[in-house]
Structure formats: structure tokens, C-alpha cells
Structure 1
């Protein structure tokens, strides 16, 4: 087959149409990838331009040369701008003014003033060299390691095009060329140039397709190994690095540490400010953790608010503790969020969280990646139990405790389903009249195998797992039912106090629940008292006042439980529409032996009365304690001095005895 310019041109036109279709499909399927869209326009412009050159002699020369070559320049600029967009650079329409418009003007000038083939082709080659040089510059500035092979090929092809254009310019300046048609004619001194140029053009398009394919594959790999929000390694990549590190450290005899982090109070931020603010907070957390690590260390996000840090080649086990302390300190500082609740259109604000960290060591604690992660997770829960905002190392004792905890959680879920929970009632006594005026409802677990299980053993697990929501609702409903039974039996009205978990504030509509239960049971709202701890109120202080006011509007009494052990801030206390302060048992235990506790208790009583609250003391067990409280003006008490918490039937007997005593008087 005869190899000439015209045949090569026809083949190139077919190539451009094929790649135009390929880029059109890519742009449609991946709209966020800008390069293919520009390369589609480039293929269409180049196809039209080269088609115009091939039709020279069929259409007027001025149209063929000026328009066709202008479209060819336009295609070159689109190729370049596609490269810029592909590598994340901006582009402007002014790029066409820098190349296409001057080229068109010069081509028109030489067609009308100096109809010289060499001059026209020199103009085209000069502009092609400039466009190619700028494209190479942008690729060199922005190329990534993941695309290094493809970008090197592209630079090689475009660089070869530049060399060919220089050779062509030299040839055109030295060898005279007829003004006759050289595409269809026999006189083709730059035949070799056109054939090589057409081949390079096809190669360049093929490399662009390869670039797109490599970019998409790289993004798939990143999705598989990186967390999309923080761009940190995910669990899969972490496990790979951890296994690799274990193999390396096993040969070298060095140590590694794994730090499992869980953010404290993160869910509160999510609930109050929305997921947009929560996502921004996670990104800032990732940045702060990374700033405390060496370049060789790895921080990964496991999901939610859990992060994990891999410290390789540590000299001493305590090195991990030092890093943990730095991370805890860094995450304890306030975070400034630029975005807030998108629904409320609130401005950004400062939030404060913290972190609990569990540490496991290689080879002391385990010799496999999965076991190291499990043990770090175990230690992290120990840190949470120790008060949060701290770290804890793994130990065998912790493993046993965690296994028991998991077993207890499963049994607790079963207990809720099988209705093994019970409500016990502890009398609340009016100090002045020595009469039962109310009771605190306390949940107990009646296990078929272990008997009565105290709340201290299962309530913390219920709080962690969210089971407290179902338990709290059941206790409220059962207490109101029992209270209505006592009213129907003719006993004097009692105030029944039910504890409310902070999670009930955050995760359910407590106002709607109370209204539903009261309507269902018929229990008077004025005889229901909801108890909340200081810490629970402070965790939800932004919306707690509104919630408490709504409860107060229903007629519900409100009490602060365990007062004195939390924040104890008068500034906040005045904001809450509270009826009762309950002095924590820890202040009552050492009366009258500890002067400090006596003074604190007396101060709370006086302060409560000044603010208009009733004051109730918890945990009264001796006559001396009761006498002290009576002397200081305390309103009521509860404790073993009168009665421990008892089932409803036993509490009914206490009410019956009091009723008979009052009737006798």
C-alpha cells in the first residue's frame, strides 16, 4: 500500500472520531473528571480542521487554510486545557486569545498578502511548539507519583512533537516549496513530517486515555484503602501496614505500639450541630493527631469517631504513653468549627471534646494484627471506665473483664426481652413530720440464675450500648402504673421520682414520652418527679433549659440528683427550672465525723433554700446524720435508716403501716 499524506490523514480522521466517542463516554460516566470533556472538544476541533485541510482544492483555499488551521490550533488549546483541568489547574478563555486568535490573524494575513506555504506552516509549528511546551510545563508541575509512568510517556510523545516541529521549521526555511496542493500532489517535501506527526497525534490520544484509566484506577484504590472524609488510611490499609510492621519487627527484635482512640462527647456535637459540623470536627481531629506523630507512624480512621495509631520501632513501652498523653492534651483543646448546624444556619462555634486511648504492645501483648487491635480496644474501654480523657494499657485482667462485660451485655438484652427487670422503691421521708411523702423508683435485675443484680453492675453497660433508652422508658411507665394503683387503693398522694439518663435527653423526645405515659396510666403529672444528674444536664446545656421548661409546663417536678459531685455551678443552676436538690450520699456518709462534709452539706442546704429549692439528702443511715440534717433545715431524706429500696408489695406495706398509724392518731 502506498504510504502518503492523504492516506495517513484519512486514518487520523478515523482515529479522532474513535477517541471522540471514547472521551464522550468517559465524560458522561465520570462528570467530575474535567479532562475528558476538554479532550472531546479537542478531537472534534482537530477532526474538523484536518478534514478541511484534506478538502483543499474542493473548497476555497482561504477557507481551507485559515479555518482549518484555526480549528487545529483550537484543538491543540483544548488538549492543553484538558491537561490543566485533569491535573487540577484552572484555565481561562483568554488562552484562546493568546494562541488561536493570533494564529488566525497571521494565517489570514499570509493568505492575502504573502500566500506562502512555508510561512503558513512555520506559523502553525511555532504555535504548536508553544502549546506543547506549556502542556509539558503543567504536567511536570502537577504530576503525581501514582501517574508517573503515564505522564512520562505523555511528555516523551509531546517532546518528540516539539522536535519534529523544529525540524520542519528548519526544512521549510531551507527547501523551497510550491504553492500548489501538496496534500494531493506529488511534490511533498515534508511528507515524512506529516506522517510522523499523525502517528504522534494518535499516540498522544492513546496516552490521554491511559492517563484517565490510571487516574480512575488510582481513585478506586484510594477508595479501597483511604477514609474518604479524612483521607487517612482505613482499616484495610492499617491491617496491611500492621502485618508488615509485625514481620519486620519480628526479624529486628524491636517493639511496636497500637493506640486505639475513641472521642469523648463527639455524639453530642453531632446531635446538636449536625453531621456537617461533625465531619469538620473529625477532619480537624485527624490533623491534630497527625501533628503529634513521627513521619514513620500511621494514623487511621476505623469509622465513626474511632481512630487508631501505629507506632513502629519504639524503644520503651512508656514511649506509647507519652504519645497518648500528647494526643489527649491536643484533643482536649477547643476546636473552632467554621460550619455549624445547616438546618439552623448557625455560625461556626467552639466545641470541646476529649479522647480515651487504649494501648497494646507488640510483642508483649500479642503477635498478630487482629489480636493487637482487639486488645487495644479492650484497653480503650478501660480508659473510658477510668473517667475518660486518659489512656490505659492492656492487661490479661482487662481481657477477662471485657469478656464478662460482653457476656453481661448479651444477657441484659435478653433480660429486657424476657421482662426480668423490676422496679424497687425507696421511701423519701419528710424530716419535719417523719412521714413518707414519696419514693425513688430504682431498677433492679431479677436474674433466674444469679438472683437480684444491683444496677451498678448493668446500668453502665446499658448507658454505653444505648439499652438505657428502653430501660428508662419501661421504668417510667411501670412507676406511673404503680403510682396510679396506690392512688386507687386510697393512699395519700406520693411523689414518685424516676431517674432520666442523659441519653434520653439526646436520643429521644422526653417530653412526648412523659406525656404519652401520663395519658396512658392516668398518673397525675404533679406527682411525677424526674431526676437528672448535674453532669447529664451540663452535657446537654444548650437545649436542656427548653426541655425542662416544657416538662415543667406539663406539671412535672424536676430534681438534680447527686448534687455536689458534678459541676456545681450556681450560674448554670439558676438557669434550670428545678424543684429539688438531692445531696449526694458521699457527703452524708461521714457525718458527723468529717467536718468538711458537714460544712459542704450545710452550705448546699442553705444555698438550695436561697434559690427556692427543696433539699433532700440521700444515703441517711444513722440517727446522728438525721439529727444534723434536721438541725440544718433539710427538707427530706432517704436511706437505709428508714428503708432500703424494696419491691412494690413491700413498699405498699410501709404505706399501709403509715396509714394505720395516722388513722390511730
Structure 2
């Protein structure tokens, strides 16, 4: 079979038409994919150009040469622009003018001034080499690693075309071709060149089609493994990565951590500002989480406002906690939302949320992906129950404990509403006189089914869930009401001590609350004593001093509870306007058996008196303990030696018994 240039050009037309159809289908079905639209244009203009050369002789030679070669160069420019679009590089229509107009002008000039085939061949080859260089440069600049093999092949074939044109350029300069019978001449030296150019060009177009197919497959894979909103991996991808990570860590004897993250107060933002604002918030959250992670770590969105972070190859267990703390801190900062479904003009809305994180570790908490996710989820709910805005690790016994705690939390909330809580009172005794001078108010829970529930079981839960604030307010109000009733019944004035939890001290305006309760109940401020722990006061010392001064200004007495178990810092203790130091029960328990506890207790008593405080000892249960405290000059005590915490009616009986005893003593003394 004789392959002259006309045969090769006809083959070009057929192949070009086939690719044009393929690109047209791609453009129609996938209009958002960059590249095929320009490549379709390249096929159309190249087809027209090749057709013009094939029809040479039917139309004027000048028109045929100039238009055909200009269109062929335009096709090369379209391929270049399509490559830029495919790899995400911007381009402008002015790029066409940079090549097509100068090429057309040069071809026209050569046709008139230098009417030789060599001149036109040199012009076209130079432009094609230049376009090939630009295409290779742009591919290398923005190469997609997921399509590495395809892009390398594309670079190879475009480079091969450029090399062919460089060889042709040298050949034409050395052996100029004649102007006659160019297409049909059997001695045409360009026949081999055109055959090689046809092969490389066809291969290049096949690679472009392969690139499109690979991109479409990559998008399908992304849809299957990527969250469309945040562009993060989804649950499926995470499970695959986690399984691979477990296999790697098992062989290396290392550990990995899984962080389950749930946003706090996200529902409020979504409901109040609309779903568009909620979506934007999730996107910003994803960005902040990614900033905190290493390249080897993975963050995925499970759905809704739940994210999960996989930390691979961690050296220490606490490394996961450090990352969790950083993420919690980042997500606690305000977010600036630019959109709002309900009011398009309401831009720049600032919202503040938080995050709770549960942590499970491999291999401590599980040896398969599903179990690790379940354990991290359990730990995350534990973090939420601890007050939100924090993290929690999973432990082996945590699942059962969490279920019990959740059930108890629900019962405790119901107990508050159904008034199952009670205030008990434990007498405080003046050591010198032996008389009752006050009482500490202690909350108790009478459950209808289980009876009396120990404070050790529900007070920590109330602290973690924030219910302690509501409980503390109720105890304060109920104690003041009861104290006012005892005054109305004719009992002598008593100091009633109420505990203030650290969370209550931080979260509510305790000064305003006390003022409101005293005004509501009519209970004298001078008979109310508020007890606070060292740790609660030391968390924010400057604020603590301000609050204590406000309470002192109202006439309320102030005591520091469990002294000796916290900071015990004299430097800060003297700054607080306190009235009473309460020695913790742990120092009293082993008196007189442990010399250390006796010395510590004696030191606290002496120190308290030096600072001008009264000193009260907690947990006195034996006469030996009381004798020691009397010897060291302690002012008062409370404990089972005199009375355990009792209900108001029982405490009133103690007061009546004391009054009766005093009356009898006075009568006896008067009779003598």
C-alpha cells in the first residue's frame, strides 16, 4: 500500500473525527471537567486544517496554505489550553492571539515574499515546538500524583512530537523541498515524518482520553471515599486507613490513637442561622482540625457534626491528649460565618461552639477498626458528660460505667424536678463550751426505688454534668429558708454553712445569688457561711478575691473547706477575706496513732489563729481526737462523735435537747 502525504492526511481526518466525537460526548455528559471542551475545539480546527490541505488545488493555494496551517496551529494552542484547564491552571482567550495571529501573519508573508514550502514548514515546526514546551512546563507545574503514569506518557508523546519537528526543522534547512506536487510526490521526504507524527499524535490523543477516563474514575472513587461538603475522607476511607494502620503498627510494635470528635452547640447554630451557615461552619471546622495534624495523620467526617482523627505512630499515650487539647482550643475560638440562609444581608456572623473528644488507643482498647471506633465513641460521650469542651480516654470498665452514669444522670435530673433531694444538717460544736454553734448543710438523695443514695455516687456526676450549679442554688435557698424557720421557732441564732462547688463558683454570679436568696428568705447574712475549696479559689485567684470581697461586704461568713489537701499556700491564703479554716477529715482520722497527722493538724490550728481565722476540724469520731484538738486550741469540730448528718426535724431535737440541758444546768446552779 502506497502511503503518500494525502493518504496520511486522510487518516488524520478519520482519527481526528473519532476523537472529536469522544470529546463531544465527554463535554455533554461531564461539563464540569476541565480540558475536554478545549480538546474538542482542537479536533475541530485540526480537522478543518487537514481538510484544507487535502483540498489544495480546489481552492486558491494562498488561501489553502494560510488558513489550513493557521487552523492546525490553533489546534495545537487549544490542546495547550485544554491541558491547563485539565490541571487547574487559568487561561485567557488572549492566549490564542499570541500564537494564531502571528502564525497566520508569518505564513501569509512567506507565501508572498518567500513562496517556498520550506519557509512554511519551518514556521509551523517552530510554533509546534514552542507549544509543546509550554504544555510540558504546565504539566510539570501542576501534575496530579493520582494520574502520574498518564501524565508521564503525555509528556513523553508531546516531547516526541517536539523532537520530530526539531529533526524536520534541521532536515528542511539542510534539504529544502520543491514547491511542485508536494502532496502526491513519491519522492516526498516528509512522508516518514508525517507517518511518525501521525503515530505520536494519535497516541497523544489516546492518552488524553485515558486522562479523562482516569479523572472520571478518580472522581467516582472520591465520591465513594470522600465527604462532598468538607472534602475530607469519609467513613469508608477511614476504615481502610485504620485497618492498614493497625497492620503496620502490629508489625512495628507501636500504637495509634483514634479521636472521636463531636461539636458542642452545633445544632443551635444550624437551627438559628440555617443549613448554609451550618455547612460553612463544618467546612471551617475541618480546616482548623487539619492544621493541627501531621502529614501521616488522617481526619475524616463521619456525618453530621461528627469527625474522627487517626493519629498513627504515636510515641506516648499522652500525645493523643495533647492533640485533643489543641483541637478543643482551636474549635473554642469564634468562627466568622459569611452566609446566612434567613438574611442574605447579615454577613460576618460570629458564632462560638466547642468540641468534646473521646480517645481510644491501639492496642490497649481494641485490635480492629470497628471496636476502636466504638470505644472512642463511648469515650466521647464520657467527655460530654464531664462538662463538654474536653477530652476523655476509654478504659476497659468505662462502657459499663458510662451506661450507669448516663442512667444515673437521667434519674438525677428527674430527682431535681420531682424534689427527691433533701438537706441534712451536721452539728458544729464549740469545743470550749460543748454547745452547738452551727451546722453544715449537706445534700442527700432519697430515691423512691433505691432509697438513700450516697453523695459520693451522685455529687461527682453532678459536678461533671453541670447539675451541681442547679443543686447548689437549691441547697442554698432551702438552707436559708430552714434557718429562718428555726429563728421563727425561737431557737438561738446558728451559723449555717453551705458548700459552694468550684463549678458553681465559676459559672454563676454567686454574689448576686446570695443577695437574692437572703432577700427572698429573710435569713440574716451574718448567720450564713459559704464554704469553698482551695482548688476552687486558686483556679482564678484575682476573680476569687473580688467575689469574696463582695460576699464579705454583704456580711456573709467565709470558710475554706478541706484545708491541707490542696495548695495550702500562705501567700494566697492571706489575700482571701476568710473567717474559718476547716481541717480536712483525712488529717483527723489517724489521730492519735500517726504523729505526722498530729503535727500537721497542730500546725494548721496555729497557722489559722495567727492569720486571725477560727479553726474547725471535720470528721471527729473519738474522744481521743477531741481531747487532742482541745489541747491544741482548736475552736470547733463536727463529726459522728456528736451527731451524724440528720434531717431538719432530728436536728431541731438536738437543739431542743441542748436547750433543755442548759436550762436544767441553770436551774441546778440557781438551786445551789
Q: TM-score range by the shorter chain?
A: 0.5 to 0.7
SS at match of 2:163: helix
Q: What stretches of structure 2 of length at least 5 have no aligned partner?
A: 412-416, 421-447, 458-465, 484-494, 529-553, 555-646, 650-672
Q: What is the TM-score with the length of structure 1 in the denominator?
A: 0.64
Distance 2:510 2:402 in 1: 38
CA 1:172–1:300 in 2, change beyond 3 Å: closer, same or farther? same
Distance 2:23 2:517 in 1: 76
Structure number with bigger Rg: 2
**Counterpart position of 2:41:** 41
Q: CA deviation at 1:586?
A: 3.0
Distance 1:208 1:262 in 2: 44
Structure 1 residues 119-164: Cα deviation after superposition (integer angstroms, max 9, x where no partner): 0111111111111111111111111111111111111111111111
**Counterpart position of 1:268:** 268
SS at match of 2:189: coil
Q: CA deviation at 1:287?
A: 2.3
Task: Please say if residues 583 and 616 of structure 1, whose CA atoms lie closer than 8 Å, have aligned partners that are also in contact.
Answer: no
Distance 1:277 1:37 in 2: 34
CA 1:91–1:292 in 2, change beyond 3 Å: closer, same or farther? closer
Distance 2:419 2:306 in 1: 40
Structure 1 residues 268-323: Cα deviation after superposition (integer angstroms, max 9, x where no partner): 11122222222222222222222222332222211111111122222332222222
Q: CA deviation at 1:2?
A: 1.7
CA 1:127–1:608 in 2, change beyond 3 Å: closer, same or farther? farther
Distance 2:418 2:513 in 1: 28
SS at match of 1:346: coil
Distance 2:95 2:274 in 1: 43
**Counterpart position of 1:314:** 314
Structure 1 residues 229-260: Cα deviation after superposition (integer angstroms, max 9, x where no partner): 22222111111121112222222222222111
CA 1:184–1:276 in 2, change beyond 3 Å: closer, same or farther? same
**Counterpart position of 1:161:** 161
Distance 2:478 2:510 in 1: 11
RMSD over equivalenced CA pairs, Å: 3.9
Structure 1 residues 187-242: Cα deviation after superposition (integer angstroms, max 9, x where no partner): 41211111111222211111110111111111222222222222222111111121
**Counterpart position of 2:473:** 584
CA 1:594–1:52 in 2, change beyond 3 Å: closer, same or farther? farther
Question: How many residues were matched structurally?
Answer: 472
Structure 1 residues 522-546: Cα deviation after superposition (integer angstroms, max 9, x where no partner): xxxxxxxxxxxxx9xxxxxxxxxxx
SS at match of 2:313: strand
SS at match of 1:223: helix
1:88 paired to 2:67: no
1:208 paired to 2:208: yes
Structure 1 residues 454-494: Cα deviation after superposition (integer angstroms, max 9, x where no partner): 9xx9xxxxxxxxxxxxxxxxxxxxxxxxxxxxxxxxxxxxx
Structure 1 residues 639-659: Cα deviation after superposition (integer angstroms, max 9, x where no partner): x999xxxxxxxxxxxxxxxxx
**Counterpart position of 2:234:** 234
Structure 1 residues 496-541: Cα deviation after superposition (integer angstroms, max 9, x where no partner): xxxxxxxxxxxxxxxxxxxxxxxxxxxxxxxxxxxxxxx9xxxxxx
SS at match of 2:245: helix
Distance 1:601 1:135 in 2: 71
CA 1:326–1:215 in 2, change beyond 3 Å: closer, same or farther? same
User: Which segment is superposed worse, 257-266 or 317-326?
Assistant: 317-326
Q: How does 1:261-660 map to 2 (within 5 A)?
A: 261-341=261-341, 343-402=343-402, 565=469, 584-591=473-480, 592=483, 593-594=495-496, 603-604=512-513
Q: What stretches of structure 1 of length at least 5 have no aligned partner?
A: 413-422, 427-446, 458-534, 536-561, 567-581, 610-614, 626-631, 633-639, 643-665
Structure 1 residues 324-373: Cα deviation after superposition (integer angstroms, max 9, x where no partner): 22221221122223334454421112221111111112222211111111
Distance 1:363 1:319 in 2: 15
CA 1:170–1:192 in 2, change beyond 3 Å: closer, same or farther? same
User: Which segment is superposed worse, 162-171 or 344-353?
Assistant: 344-353
Q: How does 1:124-135 map to 2 (within 5 A)?
A: 124-135=124-135
Task: Please say if residues 292 and 326 of structure 1, whose CA atoms lie closer than 8 Å, have aligned partners that are also in contact.
Answer: yes
CA 1:358–1:605 in 2, change beyond 3 Å: closer, same or farther? closer
Distance 1:607 1:341 in 2: 42
CA 1:602–1:91 in 2, change beyond 3 Å: closer, same or farther? closer
SS at match of 1:396: coil
**Counterpart position of 1:522:** none
SS at match of 2:251: helix
Task: Please say if residues 476 and 517 of structure 2, whose CA atoms lie closer than 8 Å, have aligned partners that are also in contact.
Answer: no
Distance 1:594 1:282 in 2: 50
**Counterpart position of 1:137:** 137
Distance 1:93 1:69 in 2: 20
Distance 2:475 2:302 in 1: 40
Structure 1 residues 21-40: Cα deviation after superposition (integer angstroms, max 9, x where no partner): 10000001111112101111
Task: Please say if residues 340 and 348 of structure 1, whose CA atoms lie closer than 8 Å, have aligned partners that are also in contact.
Answer: no
CA 1:178–1:302 in 2, change beyond 3 Å: closer, same or farther? same
